[in-house]
Structure 1
């Protein structure tokens, strides 16, 4: 006789695809309460992390957008006011616009509106604010002093986001109604404590300057996306160019 190959018979207890009732669904052991709790917690953490990441991104983008719009409108109003007859000179008050800061190292067409004050209400408008305390900054046209400015590095316009790109030898120009004040960067301080107020003193400490002069100081928070420390850039006045009828910018801004 010739043997015939037959498929062996497998009982339910040996077939992993057959359940205890003879069905086709394997029996699954129920998860413990601890495993269920860990699973739910993990999902909540992932969801929370995604929500926070989206919120931070949205907040930075939205505050930049709002601040840029505010600054553009305020800058347009200031330039328009310059076309009217000059008003009597009065002391600048908090929040008042006095000109524009141009920093080619932060972009060929980079400019930021300058306003008095460094309170959140002022800086959150997407501007560079003039220090009024702990030292009241000198104005660019003053015979001596330190024209000290601050701006946000992230959010609210982030006007000094690329301040770390500014290096010794770079030009910085302050534009007012009647003059272009051209400065040359002399020194930078990548990081210092936020309590180091001497960096904005009339003769700024740590700058290398040893006597009164006509200086400019730019400050912002560092590292990026934090406010733990301060970054500082110092410069000294090179010359003052009068504004002509066409407001032709100085050569430093035409490169």
Structure 2
């Protein structure tokens, strides 16, 4: 009967001792990759998917408004905006100003430059008009207020509380996202003096003409949405006489909310 001869494997203890740290490093690497993939998916969801959803919903709202007005909807693709991240002014900027809320006028296919009557308070945060910017191929609904969840994140353009209604004397001031959530104002930096900004309501069309562009100002420059719009940060930028103005505001540079980009226009005589 043969004696059992034990076999000694050298170095196994050293490898065993290394297995602990190596295992931890391996697990850490796997966790890092997993977290990176999750973050990438979140970014894709935020930048791409929510953007598509908001843009599609906004175009459905435009078509719903046009149907309710009894007019033909815009051609397919007319509202596909290759075009607001949004300027998000502090809530106190307009909170103390009375809110004149524009609303649809009496039904009818005719268009005029007369301002419409104010709607009931129940219309707040609901789309009541359509903004068209031919140069950008932009067609987007306009709602009262600049609340992100209720208005801007839906892909809508929001009217600053306390500003004049479409066609009215004063400043019809709007905000919109520049990136994500439909990004209706993404390309307003491409607008030039003389470009038209068209606002449709039931039975009314108001055409504004771009006059001035403020490429950068602070988020608290409340002068840009004043009844006579003039920057309080750059006092040489803006207007000095009462009139009927439109103001478009959004964030700049892209994918940042550090500054605000402002486009001003004046109502075109009918």
Shared topology, TM-score over 0.5? yes
Instruction: Identify the residue that residue 172 of structure 1 maps to in structure 2.
Output: 197
- Assess if the C-alpha contact under 8 Å between 2:106 and 2:203 holds in 1: no
Q: Which runs of 5+ in 1 are unaligned?
A: 1-19, 22-26, 241-255
Match of 1:211 among 236, 241, 244: 241
> Secondary structure of 2:178's match?
coil
Indicate yes or no: 2:40 matched with 1:53.
yes
Larger radius of gyration: 1
- Assess if the C-alpha contact under 8 Å between 1:170 and 1:184 holds in 2: yes
Write out per-residue CA displacement over residues 143-182 of structure 1, whole angstroms, 9 at most, x where no aligned residue: x100100111122211111122122332222122223322
- Assess if the C-alpha contact under 8 Å between 1:113 and 1:128 holds in 2: yes
Instruction: Identify the residue that residue 117 of structure 1 maps to in structure 2.
Output: 145
Match of 1:157 among 174, 182, 199: 182
> Secondary structure of 2:70's match?
coil
**2-structure distance, mates of 1:158, 1:47:** 30
Please, which moves more after superposition, 147-156 or 51-60?
51-60
Indicate yes or no: 2:207 matched with 1:182.
yes
> Secondary structure of 1:186's match?
strand
1:215-234 pair list within 5 angstroms: 215-234=245-264
How many residues end up aligned between the 2 structures? 212
Indicate yes or no: 2:91 matched with 1:62.
no
Please, which moves more after superposition, 84-93 or 213-222?
84-93
Instruction: Identify the residue that residue 247 of structure 1 maps to in structure 2.
Output: none
1:1-255 pair list within 5 angstroms: 30=15, 31=18, 37-83=24-70, 86=106, 89-91=117-119, 93-107=123-137, 110-120=138-148, 121-132=150-161, 136-142=162-168, 144-206=169-231, 207-240=237-270
TM-score of the superposition, structure 1-length normalised?
Answer: 0.72
More relative contact order in 1 or in 2 (CA 8 Å, sep 6+)?
2
Change in 2 beyond 3 A, CA 1:190/1:46 = farther
> Secondary structure of 1:202's match?
coil
- Assess if the C-alpha contact under 8 Å between 1:213 and 1:236 holds in 2: yes
Offset of residue 218 of structure 1: 0.4
**2-structure distance, mates of 1:194, 1:200:** 12
Instruction: Identify the residue that residue 3 of structure 1 maps to in structure 2.
Output: none
TM-score of the superposition, structure 2-length normalised?
Answer: 0.68
Q: Which runs of 5+ in 2 are unaligned?
A: 1-7, 72-104, 108-115, 232-236
Please, which moves more after superposition, 47-56 or 121-130?
47-56
**2-structure distance, mates of 1:35, 1:197:** 58
Give the alignment's Cα RMSD to 1 decimal. 2.9
